[in-house]
Amino acid sequence: MLSDAENYPGNSYRGEVLEYWRNNFYKGQKLKMLWFDEQDGCGWVVIVVDGIGREIRLIKG
């Protein structure tokens, strides 16, 4: 199941990653991060910018 990073508190790891990316990599664009959790503590994140899927990344945390 995918979880929207918007649903995590701003002071959580995923909330902080979302805000950091918004302010540094995608400033002025609409960024959405959708997380898929793995059982080993890693997570796949689907990055959507301005309504278009941009990339899928493996991120620890």
> Does the global pTM surpass 0.85?
no
pLDDT at residue 60 in the model: 74
Residue numbers of the domain that contains 40: 3-60
Q: How many domains does the chain have?
A: 1
Q: Which pLDDT score, from 0 to 100, does residue 53 have? A: 93
Q: Tell me the β-bridge partners of 60.
A: 42
pLDDT at 39: 72
Taking Cα atoms as reference points, which of 48, 37, 39 lies closest to residue 13? 37
The string of pLDDT tens digits covering residues 9-61 is: 999 988 999 999 999 999 999 999 999 977 766 788 999 999 999 999 988 76
Q: What is the pLDDT of residue 61?
A: 62
- Contact criterion met (CB below 8 Å) for 61 and 41: yes
